[in-house]
Structure 1
Amino acid sequence: MQTELLFSNKSKVRREGSSRLLDSQEALAFFPAAAIVDTPIHETNQLAFPLSNGQWLQVEKKSLTERERYLLSLSTGDEAVYSRHPWYRFLVKGVGTMPRQIGPMQWVHVRHSLSANEEKEVVESWCDVMRSLLPNRIADFQVTAYDTVFILDQSTFIPIQEVLADTLSAMEFDFGLKLTILIGQMWSQVADEDWTRIFQAEHQLFIAWQERFQSSRVLTFGQAFLWGQGQELSLSVLRHQLSHMISQQDQLADSILALWEEGAVVTKAAQRLYVHRNTLQYRLEKWLDVSGLQLRNLTDLAVCYQIVLEER
């Protein structure tokens, strides 16, 4: 009876020439054995379908009939389009190889209030503006109808926080959008097999923060990471990669500890380390180039200090 109703509803939607995603309440009414999740699990025994609020319906394959699978596919609209994007396949599903080999990679995660299925022209126009603001953007893709990720090549570090913060209100006003933006960490020295886990961990951190606060703002990775420390979130993947990156820089861990003890005052930290101020300054600039983390900024310094402290 439920699948009959779903088929009837979706047939009507198709005849009207649009694609409407199920919301969480509808999804659980039709498929009570399924779960509503923020980030899908892509495993061979699982199916995941986007919902209208940006979440996903997660269901075991063995619990669905062939007809139910077909009916679900009718409700998912452009999800098939998302899944064909090579970066979506690589970062979200872990399928295939990296579409383009680049140096340090950074992701800008954006939750927008308008569905990319229902308001395609508005969302696409906003995306064009975002692309123009990010000169080192190499690609962008949708994770859900409400979530877009921009991929940046940070081989030459370009700071983007200030320009996005300055234009946030204007973009929201011009396009009638509510935007939450996370400027992700610059990741380098990542093994190919680890990219998917790092992306999913960072995106899950963003979704958790957005669901908690639901505010319009530009958020840095450091702010999100420190907030996530007090939540029931798994940040071990992110900690491990940051620890690896720090360990690859000569004497950086000691420099981080000294800077923390001296309140981020470079001259005093250099004296504590018995090195010239220019030597310490060089280490900080080199770290900024490979990570985007500014150790004279107390938030970024706190992130790195926690990582080093845990290792020791």
Structure 2
Amino acid sequence: MTIEELIKLYPTGKVQQTKAGNNALSLPIAGSYFIIAKDSLKETEIRLLQQLFPEKKYPINQNKHPWFDYLFNQAAIDIEGTFRILQFQLKKPKEFLQTEWENSIKEIFPELCDFFFISENDGALIERYSKNHYALEELESIFLTLDADFDSSTVVFVGSFFPVNELLYKLFQEEQQIFKTEADTLRGKSTFSLTDVALHYFTKDAMEKSLIIQTFGKQLILTNEIQKIILSLWRNQGNISSAAKDLYMHRNTLHYRLEKFYEQTGLSLKRMDDLVFCYLLITK
């Protein structure tokens, strides 16, 4: 049964990336969940749908990983403190030294509380807060070094620090959705956090629905070259000298390209507001 067929049968249902609470039935399908309110279903319907759409089984001993049971099954957890969750996607070579890789992770993170794979390539690190926790740039260097040592390729979403309470697993579910949505949209960045993608993630739907944005997108001539310039300026916080170096372009040449773009569009990529607008146009 497809999502389209489910929607025809249950028009009040909706599709989302994460499971719903206990008052709704969450059916895993096509990498998402189809959500139906339980009070709109008969008990026999609930049992039938659960048989048709069984919950995914994870290759993990849940007794050894209380954090897994808490985050994915909402089980109780007897832990206090503030933690962040690093989600990762790991592309492995054929001859991958997984035990050595895992031992390296455990050695690198002194505040690591739990660490597990939830599939062949996806996993999570749970790290307790400390004053000396790794900054984003340090984490990027760590995983790039691991990739070089193990011939792997890793994409990491660095979650925010939150206290353990009844909201934490819900916050993790939202971070999961952000990771799934944004991991493939990043260019040239393998380790990122919420602030790297917040502007794009939280404005994407509004941008896609806006007639003004659609018309602007058709009128603007956004060549491959100007898109690379916009992305480089964005990554370098509008710094022209840094962007020119990043683009292997002379600073005066970049100035000329920016002036030509301004003449054609009325948008100055030297102004942060215009740069943000153009960045959203090419990443929507």
TM-score between both structures, scaled by the size of structure 2: 0.52
Secondary structure at 2:114 match in 1 = strand
Is 2:177 aligned against 1:192?
A: no
* CA apart distance, 1:64: 6.3
Query: Partner residue of 1:221?
Result: 194
Match of 1:126 among 63, 86, 101: 101
* CA apart distance, 1:138: 1.1
* CA apart distance, 1:70: 8.5
Opposite residue 69 of structure 1, the aligned amino acid is Q
Residue 133 of structure 1 contacts residue 163 of structure 1 at CA under 8 Å; is this kept in 2? no
Match of 1:212 among 164, 185, 201: 185
* Matches of 1:120 and 1:87, distance apart in 2: 29
Q: Tell me whether 217-226 or 166-175 shows the greater mean CA deviation.
A: 166-175
CA shift digits 1:178-221 (9 cap, x unpaired): 2111222222xx47221122222222222211143486511133
Secondary structure at 2:145 match in 1 = helix
Query: Partner residue of 2:204?
Result: 231
- The equivalences for 1:28-177 within 5 A come to 28=2, 33=6, 38-41=17-20, 43=22, 46-48=25-27, 55-56=31-32, 58=34, 62=45, 65=48, 69=51, 72=54, 76=56, 78-79=58-59, 81=61, 85-97=65-77, 99-102=78-81, 104-114=82-92, 122-177=97-152
**Structure 2: gaps (5+ residues):** 8-13, 39-44, 207-284
Change (3 A) 1:184 1:49: same
Residue 42 of structure 1 contacts residue 48 of structure 1 at CA under 8 Å; is this kept in 2? no
Change (3 A) 1:160 1:123: farther
* Matches of 2:54 and 2:2, distance apart in 1: 12
* CA apart distance, 1:137: 1.0
* CA apart distance, 1:120: 11
Residue 33 of structure 1 contacts residue 59 of structure 1 at CA under 8 Å; is this kept in 2? no
| Identity, % of aligned positions | 12
* Matches of 1:83 and 1:111, distance apart in 2: 23
* Matches of 1:100 and 1:28, distance apart in 2: 40
Change (3 A) 1:77 1:153: closer
* CA apart distance, 1:87: 1.0
Opposite residue 110 of structure 1, the aligned amino acid is F
**Structure 1: gaps (5+ residues):** 1-26, 234-312
Residue 82 of structure 1 contacts residue 143 of structure 1 at CA under 8 Å; is this kept in 2? no
Opposite residue 40 of structure 1, the aligned amino acid is K
Secondary structure at 2:152 match in 1 = coil
Residue 111 of structure 1 contacts residue 148 of structure 1 at CA under 8 Å; is this kept in 2? yes
Residue 50 of structure 1 contacts residue 144 of structure 1 at CA under 8 Å; is this kept in 2? no
Opposite residue 200 of structure 1, the aligned amino acid is Q
* Matches of 2:130 and 2:68, distance apart in 1: 21
* Matches of 1:56 and 1:120, distance apart in 2: 31
C-alpha RMSD of the superposition: 4.1
CA shift digits 1:35-89 (9 cap, x unpaired): 98643346465355597xxx356577936649x839957xx55357459732122
Change (3 A) 1:48 1:126: farther
CA shift digits 1:231-254 (9 cap, x unpaired): 249xxxxxxxxxxxxxxxxxxxxx
Secondary structure at 1:193 match in 2 = coil
* Matches of 2:108 and 2:177, distance apart in 1: 25
CA shift digits 1:89-127 (9 cap, x unpaired): 222332213x4212x312212122359xxx897545433
* Matches of 1:207 and 1:140, distance apart in 2: 19
